[in-house]
Structure 1
Amino acid sequence: MTRFQYAYQKIVDLKTSEKSQAEWQLSVVVGKLSQEELSLRKLREDRAAWSEKLQNASVHAVPLTEILTIQTYIDFLDDGILRKLRDVKKAESAVEAGRRFLSDRMVDEKAWLKSKEHALHRFKSEMSVKEQNALDELATARFLHAAH
């Protein structure tokens, strides 16, 4: 019996590989986004802690230089938070681009797999017809042999 061999199997393999690579790339950018969000959360927590220190310093008798130092550090943290927000936005954009790219790769792979499935169906149909013809010839030969 003849075995099914898809003529475009290498393309199917390539499309599957491209999809796997896109999945890997997406996981990398999702990891980067997670890191950026964690870093932003840490900066916000630091800012909240330093703001609390500043409020406590204004209630207690703390030297003005220390209050100015705390305020300067809070300003520094605010700048860091703004930069980190931009980094998070950039990472979110990268994740969205990765999702679109993966979606495109998945559509390509699905189209080629569907094409392979149709080719397999045609192959099975052709093989069924050939088998039926062979069985018909065998039955005809037996009939003719029995008639003689």
Structure 2
Amino acid sequence: MARFKFRLQKILELRKRKQEDRQKELAGLKKLLKEEEKLLEKLKKQGYEVRKKIDLIQSKKENSLDMEELTRHSDYLDSLRNRILSQIRTIRKVIEDIENKRGELIDASKEKKIIETLKEQQYKKFRESLENWEKKRLDEFGMINYSHRRDNK
């Protein structure tokens, strides 16, 4: 009897590849999220440092040079706040992308599982068919053997 050959093997391989691709894409998005979060922390740290400088300038005696420096630091702090808000939006977008990619990965896994289940069912039927075929052959050999022994007596 022939070996087991699954007719949908190519489709199963495509589904496996699709699942692996989604896993890689999800891993890439998670890595991107970490990078974006690090950048946000860096911006927050810069903001904290600028606020400390502003507080230091304000605690000194006021003169025109200090006021110019204070204005420059305040403008930079405003710029940092805008960059922080923009970075928060970027992080939210990446998180949304991660959730979407998780959904795609779940769908790809389900699609692959359906084909794998079908393969298992077909393999089980193949094994049963093979066992029945072997059983019939053994029965036939037994009958032939019995027939030869009876005829030889």
Normalising by the smaller structure, the TM-score range is over 0.9
Q: Distance in 2 between matches of 1:138 and 1:2?
A: 20
> Corresponding residue for 1:104?
107
CA shift digits 1:28-49 (9 cap, x unpaired): 1111111111111110110011
Q: Distance in 1 between matches of 2:38 and 2:115?
A: 40
Moved over 6 A (4+): none
The alignment's TM-score, normalised by the length of structure 1, stands at 0.96
The alignment's TM-score, normalised by the length of structure 2, stands at 0.93
> Corresponding residue for 1:46?
46
In the alignment, does 2:8 pair up with 1:2? no
Q: How far is 1:2 from its partner?
A: 2.2
> Corresponding residue for 1:80?
83
Q: Distance in 1 between matches of 2:60 and 2:128?
A: 89
**Number of residue pairs the alignment of both structures matches:** 148
Note the 1:119-134 alignment, pairs <5 A: 119-134=122-137
CA shift digits 1:58-98 (9 cap, x unpaired): 11235111111111100000000011111001111111111
Which runs of 5 or more structure 2 residues have no equivalent in the other structure? Answer: none
> Corresponding residue for 1:24?
24
CA shift digits 1:84-128 (9 cap, x unpaired): 111001111111111110111011111111111111111001100
> Corresponding residue for 2:98?
95
> Corresponding residue for 1:144?
147
In the alignment, does 2:59 pair up with 1:59? yes
Q: Distance in 1 between matches of 2:61 and 2:39?
A: 33
Identity among equivalent positions (%) equals 24
Higher CA-based Rg: 2
Which runs of 5 or more structure 1 residues have no equivalent in the other structure? Answer: none
CA shift digits 1:1-57 (9 cap, x unpaired): 421111110111010010011111111111111111111111011001111111111
Whichever residue aligns with residue 41 of structure 1, its letter is E
Whichever residue aligns with residue 24 of structure 1, its letter is K
Q: Distance in 1 between matches of 2:55 and 2:13?
A: 63
- Cα RMSD of the aligned pairs, angstroms, is 1.0
Whichever residue aligns with residue 92 of structure 1, its letter is I
Whichever residue aligns with residue 17 of structure 1, its letter is R
Q: Distance in 2 between matches of 1:142 and 1:26?
A: 64
Q: Distance in 1 between matches of 2:145 and 2:102?
A: 63
